[in-house]
Structure 1
């Protein structure tokens, strides 16, 4: 049985937010652990700096979703917010990749395979980000051209009651059938004319 469009969207939306949050927590923990273990000086400062990229991604993704739900900005704004969110995702991926790979090396994963750990963690974040951005933009496909503001809300004429519709149909039918149902005037009988 086919499901209506958008029926499973809330579950999918929650799923991708959960994937993003869990992978962000793994990335944050891995980045902070790496900074504390390997920072030559001030490990607390290094850990604070190392956790910024994965944390920054969460509000960036959420901001695009908020913009899409608000329906108050031009399409260009949505596209710029999405592009910046993707840039933040790529930057977070790159900055976390080195730390997570080094951490995997320290955990005894062979160097030839240690690059897979950050791919799994950061790849999950990137995939969830792209999916959530797709959800945010799914309602924008019916939007106006790139630089135009939102269209005015649609107004619908008030619904006619059943009786109004019936009267309207009767009126139309009477108007259409009137020529057919009119009686021809009687032929005047000629008068014999006495003057």
Structure 2
């Protein structure tokens, strides 16, 4: 449990904060690969957020997993990807509230502010939970690189009249969700 933090309703979304998604998001985008709110009323997962570079009203949400008991699993995945591709952009390790955490870019999703319910707040100082700037840069760089690859591949397949292939970089269908959010913003 991330015991030294609590939730607080948001009045304005700030980049680099940790937030929770509203159940309305899961109802609208019924993607089985989205990381869902767990049972028993707990608000997990929580997400690291940053703005989209093209549509500033779209935020990217990267789920955070406590890496403690799964650290070996994440290290193995990262090592295999680095050996094969020279780097791993789908999982970034860092620290949240002094605990090792995995930032699961492979499970990221785009949202608009209407679907963000709460900000994760530190109990000690009543400030939003934060991470090191170097970790923020690493997460955002990797996530933007992954999004670019997914977007370019999907657009290429659509243009060629091919069926859109199942993504192997990110589990949720982020291209379709993103397109729906863009439509919302343009209406």
Question: TM tier, shorter chain?
Answer: under 0.3
Query: Whose helix proportion is higher, 1 or 2?
Result: 1
Task: Give the TM-score normalised by structure 1.
Answer: 0.26
Query: Whose strand proportion is higher, 1 or 2?
Result: 2
Task: Give the TM-score normalised by structure 2.
Answer: 0.27
